[in-house]
């Protein structure tokens, strides 16, 4: 019976042993996977820590990052910017030829009716800017150059209205013929008529003397209050034409009025 029992039991023991061996093999594979995964995670964590540490070091203040000519400036290495009025460059070789200019000229705003046609060489020394007059104005071209002192040499063009034009924006045509047509609208005594000449305003008023049978006219500039009177004329229109012409010539000679194209056509005097 013992032999029979032993003959029946070995297969059972062998089966149990095989199942236990398979179980041990499966457990060792899982352990290897866990160990490998942990190693990968630790490696990634170490690389991430080194990356963060290197970035933090790049923003640490550094005395060597401060410009040599500005000892009181406190800044970071990645935030140093040049002064717009003065750009200083240091080179290891005192005889270096390709040095950045030491001075920067500030940008300029052209005067009224002057426009920029372009500049060269940025804002550095030697920069040349060309200027001209806007449309409707005359004055030619000019150039200004940035110097080592930080200033500009050269002049802007002197822009004025084109011939036969006046006003703040040169929008008016200036002729004696237009003025004469306006003054001819005068009709009666003590009825002033208004004449426009560019941005200027003139008032002319006539009076008829019944006793001496003649007319006189007085024309007055509204801004300067300059006036001229012409009398002893049979026609009030003729009297006002002479007074207006006299006023026009006087204020043109003083530089108050722009010169009309046809000033020679105006009456010489009273």
By the 8 A CB rule, do 145 and 152 touch? yes
Mark whether 223 and 241 lie in a shared domain: yes
Instruction: Mark whether 156 and 175 lie in a shared domain.
Output: no
Q: Do 152 and 209 belong together in one domain? A: no
**106, 95 Cβ separation under 8 angstroms:** no
DSSP characters for 226-269? -EEEEEEESSHHHHHHHHHHHHHHHHHHTTSSPPPTTGGGS---
**Are the C-beta atoms of residues 246 and 270 closer than 8 Å to each other?**
yes
Domain containing 239 equals 169-265
Q: Are residues 174 and 153 in the same domain?
A: no
Do 224 and 176 sit in the same domain of this protein? yes
Residue 156 counted as domain residue: yes
Q: What is the mean pLDDT of residues 59-82?
A: 43
Is 205 in the same domain as 146?
Answer: no
CB 191 within 8 A of CB 203: no
Whether residues 177 and 141 fall in one domain: no
Q: What is the 8-class DSSP label of residue 132?
A: E
Domain count for the chain, please give it.
3
| Residue that terminates a domain, selected from 161, 190, 221 | 161
More confident residue, 59 or 157: 157
Q: What is the CATH number of the domain that holds 192?
A: 3.30.160
Which pLDDT does position 31 carry in this prediction?
A: 82
Does 157 map to a domain?
yes
Residues 230 and 261 occupy one common structural domain = yes
CA atoms within 13 A on the CB side of 161: 19
Residue 28: pLDDT above 60?
Answer: yes
**What CA–CA distances, in Å, run from 153 to 109, 110, 139, 227?**
15, 14, 18, 44
Average pLDDT value for residue range 36-42: 87
Is residue 243 domain-resident?
Answer: yes
Most confident of 1-5, 25-29, 196-200: 196-200
Q: Is residue 91 part of a domain?
A: no
104: in domain: no
Based on the domain organization, do 50 and 24 belong to the same domain?
yes
Instruction: Provide the 8-state DSSP code for 165.
Output: E
165-186 pLDDT per residue, tens: 888 888 888 999 999 999 999 8
Q: Is 122 domain-assigned?
A: yes
| 216, pLDDT greater than 60 | yes
Q: Is residue 85 assigned to a domain? A: no
Same domain, 202 and 260: yes
How many residues are there in the chain? 270
Higher-confidence residue of 161 and 121: namely 161
**Residue 99 — very low, low, confident or very high, per pLDDT cuts 50/70/90?**
low
CA dist 102 and 175 (Å) reads: 54
Question: CATH code at 128?
Answer: 2.10.70
Question: Are residues 47 and 128 located together in one domain of the fold?
Answer: no
Q: Diameter of the chain by CA atoms?
A: 178
Q: What is residue 102's predicted lDDT score, i.e. its pLDDT?
A: 63
Q: Are residues 132 and 174 in the same domain?
A: no
> Which span out of 29-33, 106-110, 183-187, 247-251 was modeled with the highest average pLDDT?
247-251
> Is 212 domain-assigned?
yes
Show the beta-strand stretches assigned E in 87-181: 114-119, 128-133, 137-138, 141-146, 152-153, 160-161, 165-166, 172-173
Question: 204 with 262: CB under 8 angstroms?
Answer: no
Rounded to an integer, the average pLDDT of 25-49 is 79
User: For the packed helices 236-253 and 176-183, what is the interaxial angle rounded to 10 degrees?
Assistant: 140
Structure confidence by residue, pLDDT tens digits, 127-154 = 889 999 988 788 888 999 998 888 899 9
């Amino acid at each position: 019976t013992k032999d029979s029992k032993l003959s029946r039991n070995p297969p059972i023991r062998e089966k149990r042993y095989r199942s236990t061996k398979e179980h041990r093999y499966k457990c060792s594979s899982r352990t290897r996977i866990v160990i490998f995964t942990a190693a990968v995670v630790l490696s990634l964590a170490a690389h991430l820590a080194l990356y963060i540490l290197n970035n933090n070091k790049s923003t640490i203040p550094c005395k060597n990052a401060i410009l040599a000519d500005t000892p009181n400036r406190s800044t970071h290495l990645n935030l140093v910017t040049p002064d717009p009025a003065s750009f200083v460059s240091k080179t290891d070789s005192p005889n270096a030829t390709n040095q950045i200019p030491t001075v920067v000229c500030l940008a300029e705003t052209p005067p009224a009716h002057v426009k920029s046609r372009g500049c060269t060489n940025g804002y550095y020394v030697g920069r040349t800017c060309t200027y001209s007059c806007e449309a409707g104005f005359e004055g030619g071209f000019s150039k200004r150059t940035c110097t080592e002192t930080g200033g500009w040499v050269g002049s802007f063009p002197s822009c004025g209205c084109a011939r036969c034009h006046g006003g703040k924006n040169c929008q008016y045509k200036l002729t004696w013929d237009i003025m004469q047509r306006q003054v001819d609208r005068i009709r009666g005594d003590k009825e002033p008529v208004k004449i426009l000449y560019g941005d200027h305003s003139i008032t002319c008023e006539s009076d008829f003397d019944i006793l001496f049978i003649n007319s006189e006219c007085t024309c007055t500039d509204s801004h300067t209050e300059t006036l001229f009177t012409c009398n002893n004329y049979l026609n009030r229109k003729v009297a006002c034409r002479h007074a207006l012409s006299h006023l026009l010539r006087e204020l043109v000679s003083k530089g108050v009025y722009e010169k009309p194209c046809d000033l020679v056509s105006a009456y010489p005097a009273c």
